[in-house]
Structure 1
Amino acid sequence: MLKLLLPVVLLMKFKSDWKSIQTGVGMLSGLVGLMCFHDMYLYNLGFELGLDFVSYIMVYLSTWVMFLVIISSQRVKGENNFFDMFLVVNLFLLLSLLFTFSSLNYLMFYISFEMSLIPTLILILGWGYQPERIQAGVYMLFYTLTMSLPLLGSLLYIYYYSGSLTMMMSGMILDGGYMSVIWYFSSVMAFLVKLPMYMFHLWLPKAHVEAPVAGSMVLAGVLLKLGGYGLIRLLFMFQKVSLNFSWLWVSVSLLGGVLVSLLCLRQVDLKSLIAYSSVVHMSMVICGLMIFSWWGMMGAIVVMVGHGLCSSGLFCLANMMYERIGSRSLLISKGLLNLLPSMGLWWFLLSVGNMAAPPTLNLFGEISLFVSLLSWSTLSMIGLMFLSFFSAAYTLYMYSLSQHGIFFNGLYSCSSGKVREYLVLFFHWFPLNILILNLNLVASVN
């Protein structure tokens, strides 16, 4: 694992050279891509770090998204807006993500999980656009920290109970009355807030709306996946207890997903709409993970990867629009097809991904989740039916309202897109549609 961690640390040395860091992170993501040729359960072991299939997929997603973040944040360099500090914060965030996804020890996982909060907060507070970013940062900090403290207590109790905090060596917790229920809830809630689950999701739209493009892309692309990854790692210990509460998580998530979809249909802020759509996608991931089926786990991982690429690309597009028009409001930024005709194609392609239409990765993931949920309970068909319909409805609403109509008269002219911007959008779209050709890699997780 040192061959991935040391380059990130060394790149911090070149903080004043934007192109070197951009190239370095790109080469690092290429290196991670070449590591997929293995047939072992765990590999790259050392220093209580190691990768298995799930970790590898998440590490690859982290390095890829961070590479795209640095390309799309060129405006920070152009305006000389403390860009050297900006690069250091992003690299530190990447380092904490690599530690989180490759930790084999629960305590180390917890520390690096919390460590990723600090650079995200600095990104929102330092490079955000509006004065409300302070409130958004505080929301995110307190939602996450409040639910994370019980997790620390739970991990220490696991060490006392089983004598080890190494993953897969800690014993399974038996269903031993109300104490095991409290223990289970204190362990799980930190990850459900990070995902976020409906009712604990209020920090997410605020953080997304106030964050710069880098913050939004990393939040949507990788940081939400920390919750799903944590559940995959921790839930196997609480199988007996968790099966008693599957009905709770599935019903709250499906109902919450439908309500948030309806909320999406009345958003006028574009970033807010994309942020709420993330809550809808993640609600299905929670359902897939909580019912303990192979199809559910496989679907959850595929949806997490697909959503990471698709949502990050949509935030990137929203930022390109914001840089030209100066507003994120769908009431002002209409008729973009007249101003940015080439960009209209990318809006369409990424909107197709967001509504899980073929041939995107999201389609396979959602089919897997549908199969797992229907095999668990046929009653869930009602929630899934509404969820699918409304996710297509709000995506069409976003696309048609932003692309069609009469454009803002106050806008005299604007650039129809740079090669760099189209390259970033292509790098989001290409893996999202090509990975569906080789799904045996993801299916072999199970």
Structure 2
Amino acid sequence: MLTALLLIPIIGTLVILPMSEETSRTQIKQIGLIRSLLNFILSIVIWGEFDSSSLQYQFVQEFNTLDFCHLHIGIDGISLYFVLLTTFITPLCLLSNWENLKFGYKYYFIAFLLMETLLIAVFVVLDLMLFYVFFEAVLIPMFLVVGIWGGSITRIRASFLLFLYTLAGSLFMLLSIVVIYYNVGSTDFTILSLSEISFESQKILWLGFFLSFAVKTPMVPFHIWLPRAHAEAPLRGSILLASVFLKLAIYGFLRILINFLPDATHYFSPLVQTIAIITLIYSSLATIRQSDFKRLVAYSSIRHMAVVVLGLFSNTIVGIEGAILLSVAHGFISPAMFILVGGVLYDAFHTRVIRYYRGMTVYMPVFSLLFFLATIANMGIPLSLNWAGEYMSLAGTFQKSPVIGLLGASGILLSSCYGIFLFNRISFGRYSQYLGKAKDVSRREFVMLITLIGVTFVLGIFPNIILNDLHVAVTSLLYTAPSLS
């Protein structure tokens, strides 16, 4: 079934490729949407058949290709929800801006279907070299999406920042992988988990991997590419970038650093937590002063990822499970925020400057209600999945270091500042003199938003739906790294 999960979007691209764009726009969109929905249904079937009590990788398949790397795929409790998040977001991503694309329908949909396959591949491959290949290959279609279909003339600069920042950081990961292969003789996850790597070697390898993941997270001072990419990307690009792209590094932290390099992870944890605190406070303060609402949502994403990193490197089950919960929650709410401000508002008034907006409740009451729910969920209000993930991440951090936990909790106050400011500025007061009358959210937009927001609150009330599948995987992760305790 995992093979089918990878092949369905590729088959969709092969069907779309020979079609004429001028005569088949509706058909191209329908094919892309249907293929992504089929993938989501198949991932639900995999979720239903997943055995949460097993310590082993499940749905394992192996295809021998080259001597030094082979296609070996499978999932466990850690990768399961990243795969589900990818297949859940992709259909909603294709539905956004359904009628707004002016040119390049065929290649636009091909780019997103290819990205879905590459993103799923990152989460299911069980070989370190192929992990790197797919980790970097995702950049190519996203680079084209931002550079070709971006929002303004500065889109070229934003696409190159996205590509060059992340590629440059990942070169150190490639060097680390080459060293591992030279010393161990394999890059297979199973063999690496059984191999002994000296502490001194672990420290050097750890730094190579961490630099790559720190750029992709992103963490200060490697964060500059993200706000620019979000601001210039089309709505679909912003949704996929926020919901799934930022989770690649989180998955890398879990799968590689904590799993294969536990002693170095324990040694460098204070450094990582210090960088995460700096990132959290800086991004929160930067969010408060933003005048472009897509940049504001982008900086708030950096803050959420900083809390996730704190949870991951807390070396506690509660912290790591909370970090995974918050990653999934951010994958729901961040797209909802981008649809509201970068889709509904921007499509109606064609400006992203916050000071031009005021009193939207007058003409758009449904929008204001959905915007309120998304904003409070993004702030981490109780009953939302964001709150459950953020609370557990900070609780795990506090167990190991009360000082770091208290500093991390400062983000709760700062997120309330920019969240309340944004909602109050846009929704209340007299209707802005700079704006004309506008229609409320369309039926398509309402279905997308209520789906994202509804899932966030349902899983926030019943987080054990996710946690029950995480317990064994996270516990076994800690057991394989006893020095983290």
Same fold at TM > 0.5: yes
| Equivalent position SS for 1:400 | helix
| Equivalent position SS for 1:169 | helix
What displacement does 1:187 show?
A: 1.5
Alignment check: 8 A CA contact 1:255 1:383 kept: no
| Equivalent position SS for 1:27 | helix
What displacement does 1:443 show?
A: 4.3
- Map of 2:20 onto structure 1: none
- Structure 1 residue runs of 5 or longer lacking an equivalent are none
Q: How does 1:36-435 map to 2 (within 5 A)?
A: 36-37=47-48, 38-39=50-51, 40=54, 41-47=56-62, 48-77=72-101, 79=102, 81-170=103-192, 171-176=195-200, 180-235=202-257, 236-318=259-341, 319-435=343-459
Q: Match of 2:324, as an amino acid? A: I
Alpha-carbon distance in structure 1 between the residues aligned to 2:247 and 2:392: 18
Task: Single out whichever of 146-155 and 256-265 deviates more from structure 2.
Answer: 256-265
Spell out, residue by residue over 1:235-287, the C-alpha distance to the aligned partner (whole angstroms, 9 max, x if none): 12221112122111111211321121111111110000000000000011111
Alignment check: 8 A CA contact 2:333 2:456 kept: yes
Alpha-carbon distance in structure 1 between the residues aligned to 2:451 and 2:141: 24
Alignment check: 8 A CA contact 2:322 2:390 kept: yes
Alpha-carbon distance in structure 1 between the residues aligned to 2:242 and 2:369: 22
What displacement does 1:73 show?
A: 2.5
Alpha-carbon distance in structure 2 between the residues aligned to 1:351 and 1:263: 17
Alignment check: 8 A CA contact 1:172 1:237 kept: no
Spell out, residue by residue over 1:26-80, the C-alpha distance to the aligned partner (whole angstroms, 9 max, x if none): 2321221122122143222113011112211111111111110111121345x4x
- Structure 2 residue runs of 5 or longer lacking an equivalent are 17-23, 63-71, 475-485
Q: Match of 1:441, as an amino acid? A: I
Q: Match of 2:156, as an amino acid? A: I
| Equivalent position SS for 1:44 | strand
- Map of 2:479 onto structure 1: none
- Map of 2:38 onto structure 1: 27
Q: What is the RMSD of the two structures over their aligned residues, measured on CA atoms?
A: 1.5
Q: TM-score, normalised by structure 2?
A: 0.88
Aligned residues: 442
Q: Match of 1:31, as an amino acid? A: L
Q: Match of 2:160, as an amino acid? A: V
Q: TM-score, normalised by structure 1?
A: 0.96
Alpha-carbon distance in structure 2 between the residues aligned to 1:27 and 1:358: 33
Alignment check: 8 A CA contact 1:198 1:283 kept: no
Alpha-carbon distance in structure 1 between the residues aligned to 2:268 and 2:10: 42
Alpha-carbon distance in structure 1 between the residues aligned to 2:178 and 2:44: 35
Alignment check: 8 A CA contact 1:43 1:50 kept: yes
Alpha-carbon distance in structure 2 between the residues aligned to 1:118 and 1:442: 34
Alignment check: 8 A CA contact 2:33 2:91 kept: yes
- Map of 2:6 onto structure 1: 5
Task: Give the percent of matched residue pairs that are identical in Structure 1 and Structure 2.
Answer: 28
What displacement does 1:438 show?
A: 4.5
